[in-house]
Amino acid sequence: MITYIARRLLFLPVVLIGVTLMIFVAMSFLSPYQLVSTYIKSPEELKNQSLDDLVRKYGLDQPVHVRYVNWMRNLFRGDLGYSVSANMPVAEAIARRFPATVELALFAIVPVILGGIWLGTISAKHYNRPLDHLSRTFAIVGWSLPDFVFGLILLMVFYGVLGWFPPGRLSMWADSIVLTGDFTRYTGLNTVDALLNGRPDIFWDAVRHLIAPVMTLAYLWWAYLLRITRSSMLEVMNKDYVRTARAKGLTEQVVMGRHVRRNALIPVATVSGSMVLGLLGGVVIVETVFDYKGLGLLTATGAQQLDYTLVLGTTLFYGLLLVLINLVVDVLYAVIDPRVRLE
């Protein structure tokens, strides 16, 4: 197991070099003038210096491979560059935004997984009967409904009409408390920090802001998990060992829970892993709709403004997440399925 993990981690640099190379190659299709436009805030800046001066200043006249090596050299010194669009160093921008994304992911993953498995179990148990059709229809509607549409509906109803779940991460009053020195940021997760600081009012405020985006994400992903759970359970239900379980004289409930579902969850675990990965990478549309300042929104804004240092930094970060989470999923896989050996 340890050797397996070590070997997988050795592979990590290869993946990271691969993704950053791809970004650099994509960037080489842009002219230096396009790239330098990021740095220009207003036409007045061009009065004292020419565009070519700026291109030289930021090293954009160098060939792609030289820029890549320079970027790498800075990376090893711990410098990811300065993001113009975020107005702060890239590393700092990621460090600030990532906790928000983690918080949303943590809150979303539980209802997504539990709800999806629950719906899938209902469907499988009532295979081709009304309850199956009902839960599948419900889930498919969520899958087909664009998340910006469903998100906007939620926003309209629960914020516009009812005023329950506002957009953003915190209300103004809570934000002002969080930003003072009295409030210690242990983790960067508002809910956790609020509890650690003994502020249940701020905790509740943070949760209030999370509910609508979590609902949007859950409704979107339920169909996916439902389908996997359903088909996997139907497959397992026809297995011989389920017949054996019945022959043992177990109640139908035990047969379903202990034998069918436990075995059916193996593929569900794999899918859940990639889902966590997707959530941690940031969910651009949901973050945009709810003005939730996470990693997805940061990257999307940066990409729109051709802020290539930021895009490179976040891509590198995603690559790191991808390899690590896939590793965790593979290790967990061996835990839940005794037949899997990590060699």
Partner 1 sequence: MTIPNTGEILLDVQGLRKYFPITKGIFRRTVGHVKAVENVSFQVRKGETLGVVGESGCGKTTMGLSIMHLIQPSQGTIRLHTDGGWTEVNAQSIRRLRDKMQIVFQDPFSSLDPRMRIRDIVAEPLQAHGMKNRRQRYEQVEKLLDAVGLGSHHMNRFPHEFSGGQRQRIGIARALSLNPSLVVCDEPVSALDVSVQAQVLNLLHDLQEEFGLTYLFIAHDLSVVQHISDRVAVMYLGRIVEMGEVDSLFSRPKHPYTEALLSAIPDPDPDVVGEQIILQGDVPSPANPPPGCHFHPRCLYAQERCRQEIPELLDIDGQGHFAACHYTQELSLTGVSAGETA
Type of residue at 259: H
Asked whether 212 and 290 are in contact (CB, 8 A), the reply is yes
Q: Which of residues 193-232 bind partner 1 (CB under 8 A)?
A: none
What are the strands, taking DSSP E only, across 100-194?
A: none
Closer residue to partner 1 in complex, CB, 59/257: 257
Could you give the angle at which helices 308-336 and 295-304 cross, rounded to 10 degrees?
A: 140
| Shortest distance (Å) from residue 340 CB to partner 1 | 10
> Rounded to 5 degrees, what are φ and ψ at 65?
-65, -35
| Shortest distance (Å) from residue 107 CB to partner 1 | 30
| Shortest distance (Å) from residue 125 CB to partner 1 | 18
Indicate which single residue of 211, 254, 320, 332 sits in contact with partner 1 (rule: CB under 8 A).
Answer: 254
For residue 69, count other CB atoms closer than 10 A to its CB: 11
Q: Judged by CB under 8 A, how many residues of this single chain contact partner 1?
A: 20
Closer residue to partner 1 in complex, CB, 177/269: 269
CA nearest to 287, candidates 136, 123, 104: 104
Task: Please give the full DSSP string across 192-261, using - where no structure is assigned.
Answer: HHHHHTT-HHHHHHHHHHHHHHHHHHHHHHHHHHHHHHHHHHHHHHTSHHHHHHHHTT--HHHIIIIIII
Q: Which of residues 234-253 bind partner 1 (CB under 8 A)?
A: 239-241, 243-251
Q: Is 11 helix (H, G, I), strand (E, B) or coil?
A: coil
| Shortest distance (Å) from residue 256 CB to partner 1 | 13
For residue 6, count other CB atoms closer than 10 A to its CB: 9
Closer residue to partner 1 in complex, CB, 47/339: 339
Q: Which of residues 28-67 bind partner 1 (CB under 8 A)?
A: none
Site string for partner 1, 275-294 (x = CB under 8 A): --------------------
Under rule CB under 8 A, residue 336 binds partner 1:
yes
Under rule CB under 8 A, residue 133 binds partner 1:
no
Closer residue to partner 1 in complex, CB, 215/264: 264
Under rule CB under 8 A, residue 343 binds partner 1:
no
How far is the C-alpha of 124 from the C-alpha of 134, rounded, in Å?
Answer: 12
Question: DSSP assignment, residue 156?
Answer: I
Binding site residues, partner 1, CB under 8 A: 239-241, 243-251, 254, 259, 262-263, 336-339
